[in-house]
Every structure is written in C-alpha cells, then in structure tokens.
A = this chain, B = another copy of it.
Amino acid sequence: MEQRVKEYSVSVLDLNFGKPIVVLNEADARELGVTPGNILLIIHGDKQKTGVVMTTKTMVNKGSLMVTNELANALGLKEGGAVGIKPLSIPPSFPALKKRLKGERLEESHYREIVKDVVEGVYGEAEIAAFLVSQLFYEPTEEELTYLIKAMVETGSRIVFEEPANDVHSVGGVPGNSKVALITVPIVAASGLLIPKTSSRAITSPAGTADTVEVLARVDLTIDEIKDIVKKTKGVLAWGGKLNLAPADDIFVNIERRLAIDPIYQMVASILSKKLAMGIERLVIDIPAGRGAKVQEVSKADEMAGIFIRQASKMNIALKVAITYGGQPIGLTTGPALEAREALSALITGKGSRSLVDKALLLAGLVLELSGRVPAGSGEEVAREIFLSGKAYEKFKEIIEAQGGDPNVKPEEIPIGKHSYTLKSPLEGAVTHLDNAAITTLARACGAPYDKGAGVYLHAKVGYRVNKGDPLITLYSNSASRLETAVNLLSQTQPIIVEGMLLKTLP
C-alpha cells in the first residue's frame, strides 16, 4: 500500500490503559482510514512501536498526535518531537491465528509469529482471547506446547548465570503458600547452590511470594541487580514482573484471569517459559493438590506433572515434581505481613507449623538432590540440618540486606493491620474443615495483598481440639470498613468448621 511519510508532531499523554495509546485528531483518523481500537505503527528514527488508536475532536489538532508515557519512553520521544505513523491492518501472524480458529494444528513458525505479535502489542484483547479459547476447546498437542513455550522464551529477555541455576516453583492456589520460598531459598543458597528465584505478585490470591518478601526488602530488582546479589549471596527473592522474562506469559495470564480459564497446558507453559528465560537448569515444581486448591484432584496433579516432566526433558531442564497436600492453608497465616512474620519466626527459632516447615524442607531437599550433591532420599535431612543450624537464617539475613532490607528485623516488629476481629469457637470440639476459598476471600476482603498488613491468622487448623470461646480466626486490616466487610463475610463463607457446629438455620 501507499507509503505514508507524513510526520506528526507529538505531545505526551499521562494516561495508563495497560497498553500503548495514540490519540489522533478525528480528521487524521478518517484520512488514514483508522477507527478507535485499531492498531497503528509509530515510527521514530529506527525505532517502531504499536499503539491503540483513540480519536478526539479537540485534544490534538490535525497533524499532531498524543502518545502515552510508555510509548514516548520506548521510542525515545520528547514533547514536540515528530513521528511517522502507519496503519497496521493485518498482523503478520493473522493467517496462523485464522488457521487455529478453523481448528487446524500449527507449526513452530506459526507459534513464533503469534507470540511475537502478542508481545509486540499488535493484537488486542479479542485476538488474544480467541487464541486462548481456541486452545481450550481444541487442546494443543505436546509438540505444539513445546513450540509455544519456546516462542514465549524467545520473545523476551534471557539471563545466563555463571553456574547452574536452581529453582523451586509452586503452581500455587493455596492460601499461606507465599511464605514457603522464604525458607526454601535460603536453605538452598546456604548449601552453596545458586537459586535466583523470581516470583509473581498475587493475582487472585491474598499474597504472592513477591508481595510477602516486599514486606522485608525490595523485590523490583533489575537483571543486573539480581546478578550482583547472587554473586554475593547465591540466593535472591525477586519479583519477575518487570524483567521481561517471557513477556507473552503476562499477557496471556491477564486474559485467562479475566475469563477465569486456567488450562493445564498454559500453566505449564507459563512456568517453564519464565524459568527457561531465567536460565534455570534444575527445577522443582510443587503442585499443591486438595479440596479448594487450584488443583483439586491428585489425578489432575498427575496429569500436570506428566506434562511438566515431558516438556522439561525436551528443554534440557532437570525437573522433579512434588505433589503436596493443598487441602488446607499452609501454616497459620495468610497475607503478606502475617506470612513474612511466620516465615521469619520459623527461620529464627527453627520451629513452626509443620505444614510450612516440612514443606519448605522437603522442597529444598529435592533441589539438593537434583544437584547431585546429596544422595537421593537424604535431601530433606540435609535441608533440616541447614535450617536448624541457623545457617538458613543467616543466609536469609544476607539476602534481605542485599535486597535493601533490614536484616535484623524481628517478626513482632513487622507491622500488621491495626484493626482486627477474632472469631471464637461457639463450642468444644475438633476442627474438621478449613476452607481455602473462604480464607482467600476473607484475606482479600481485608485488603490483602495491597494492604500488606491485611490477612487472616488461624489459631487452629484441621484436627486441633478447641474449647468453647477459644479463638479460631483473627482478621487483620488497616481499613475499618474493609474489616467490617470481612466480618460480615465470616458468616456467609464458613472458613472453619468445628465438629458439631451448626452450619445454618433456615429460614
């Protein structure tokens, strides 16, 4: 089509829509034949980026346009600069997407094209959702999955470490799980192995590992900072969000979450692509399975484990999967500050809830075994020695300090929500059920993960005996109104059942 060499003068618009925006005067849009929601290529010198079109009658004059901060930065543009623009009618991978929507299998090159266009912002939400839903109704083969994972890795940054990098990653879905890594990582690092752990912030849970670590130290580290830190400490607990590791994953996850779809294959692709980009060579995957967890049945966990193992072997990652019990929360706490307190206390005292400590040691042990430094079957024992010796705590302090935190902070010094409410047992009996989903809902209603001090403390877990009037659950929040909301939810959600407790009276 015709070459558009016309230049537009630029001003910068302070608007965040989660994707780059170009604002055109309506007359220019009409001339270019573009309408709101279309994609434009914006060209500045040898750089080019895509942006979504919005139009205006008055905000910019004909011949001028506005771009959002993000775009201006990416293009090195300043207020008053000039750019060329070109309508982008058909993304290069569109024929491949059409094939997929017709129910045809795709080649490696097709996945590469699609993922490239996804990452470059050429596609809107509609196309990405269409791709994901097509994969839901017409599952990819394991070969296609390999193509997808490779493409996701290739379209982002890749980190190479000087020695073999280890990692532990949980597929998540159980409240209280975010703190496990705060124990696992320092144990592995204290053993002398490299463990550059990246993790995510919470999406639908009350706390991701990055949220919990952030209570104690900086997590928004750059790639260079991560490299520097692990050179000194062997371990790091960083947020992976801004490292441009398999950036397609973040885009896919965002849409999947919106649609509440969570296909197994995509979970595998998500984790393996991030870990491959991070240069991980040995990986332990934790799949918590149980009522109310993301993976509810062991059979589904087995299926997922199989996919992980087969994909990892194609990608030269040494991988072990641990299917762990996910039927009730891990440890006693849910929410960033409460979980940070619990993990720190366990590291300092060598004691803690078994569901937390045993799990952390087990996972650390598997990493030690994968490295070959420790014979199979004795990893957990070695991990326990490191944990009980205080070496794990010393290592943790090093890591926190390297990440700009206070290494000497005591658990009780970590601020938690200033408002609280304690639910007491209405009778004597054994706790027979803790509801993962209800506890997640309560912690989020209290304000977690954004309110770091918000969360849920469990005084009793399944199997504990309680007397009438004993505390069962304490809710914490920094917002009185949020706490009130959460308290109102207590009676609707039944987070905890004490044997013999009346569930409801009707009407």
Chain A contact-residue range equals 35 or more
Bound CA–CA A128/B485 (angstroms): 32
- For window 50-75 of A, CB contacts with B under 8 Å fall at 52, 54-59
Binary B-proximity of A400-436 (CB < 8 A = 1, otherwise 0): 0000000000000000000000000000000000000
Q: Are the C-beta atoms of A18 and B36 separated by less than 8 Å?
A: yes
- For window 211-241 of A, CB contacts with B under 8 Å fall at none
Cβ of A92 < 8 Å from any Cβ of B? no
Bound CA–CA A397/B229 (angstroms): 82
Which of these, B18, B37, B259, B484, contacts A127 with CB under 8 Å?
Answer: B259
Cβ of A255 < 8 Å from any Cβ of B? yes
Q: Are the C-beta atoms of A258 and B133 separated by less than 8 Å?
A: no
- For window 181-209 of A, CB contacts with B under 8 Å fall at none
Q: Are the C-beta atoms of B33 and A450 separated by less than 8 Å?
A: yes
Cβ of A130 < 8 Å from any Cβ of B? yes
Cβ of A124 < 8 Å from any Cβ of B? yes
Q: Are the C-beta atoms of B133 and A130 separated by less than 8 Å?
A: yes
Bound CA–CA A55/B21 (angstroms): 12
Q: Are the C-beta atoms of B16 and A56 separated by less than 8 Å?
A: yes
Task: Please indicate the chain B residues that have their CB under 8 angstroms from the CB of A14 in the complex.
Answer: 56-59
Q: Are the C-beta atoms of B129 and A133 separated by less than 8 Å?
A: yes
Q: Are the C-beta atoms of A23 and B33 separated by less than 8 Å?
A: no
Task: Please indicate the chain B residues that have their CB under 8 angstroms from the CB of A16 in the complex.
Answer: 26, 36, 54-56
Binary B-proximity of A126-156 (CB < 8 A = 1, otherwise 0): 1111101110111000000000000000000
Task: Please indicate the chain B residues that have their CB under 8 angstroms from the CB of A56 in the complex.
Answer: 14-16
Which of these, B13, B30, B58, B132, contacts A450 with CB under 8 Å?
Answer: B30
Q: In chain B, what residue has the closest Cβ to A55?
A: B16
Q: In chain B, what residue has the closest Cβ to A445?
A: B1
Bound CA–CA A30/B18 (angstroms): 14
Known: A137-B137, A484-B2. A259 touches B59 (CB 8 A): no
Shortest CB–CB separation between residue A113 and chain B, in angstroms?
16
Task: Please indicate the chain B residues that have their CB under 8 angstroms from the CB of A138 in the complex.
Answer: 137
Q: Are the C-beta atoms of B259 and A130 separated by less than 8 Å?
A: yes
Q: Are the C-beta atoms of B55 and A15 separated by less than 8 Å?
A: yes
Binary B-proximity of A115-132 (CB < 8 A = 1, otherwise 0): 000000000111111101
Binary B-proximity of A466-503 (CB < 8 A = 1, otherwise 0): 00000000000000011011000000000000000000
Bound CA–CA A226/B259 (angstroms): 41
Bound CA–CA A484/B3 (angstroms): 11
Task: Please indicate the chain B residues that have their CB under 8 angstroms from the CB of A101 in the complex.
Answer: 133, 136, 259-261
Cβ of A76 < 8 Å from any Cβ of B? no
- For window 89-103 of A, CB contacts with B under 8 Å fall at 94, 97-98, 101, 103
Task: Please indicate the chain B residues that have their CB under 8 angstroms from the CB of A126 in the complex.
Answer: 125-126, 128-129, 255, 258-259
Q: Are the C-beta atoms of B33 and A18 separated by less than 8 Å?
A: no
Task: Please indicate the chain B residues that have their CB under 8 angstroms from the CB of A125 in the complex.
Answer: 124-126, 129
Shortest CB–CB separation between residue A329 and chain B, in angstroms?
22
- On A, residues with C-beta under 8 Å from B are 1-2, 13-18, 23, 26, 30, 33, 35-37, 52, 54-59, 94, 97-98, 101, 103, 124-130, 132-134, 136-138, 255, 258-261, 445, 450, 481-482, 484-485
Q: List 21 A-B contacts (CB under 8 A).
A: A2-B482, A16-B26, A16-B54, A17-B36, A17-B37, A18-B36, A101-B133, A101-B136, A101-B261, A124-B258, A125-B125, A126-B128, A126-B129, A126-B258, A129-B130, A129-B133, A130-B130, A130-B133, A130-B259, A137-B137, A137-B138
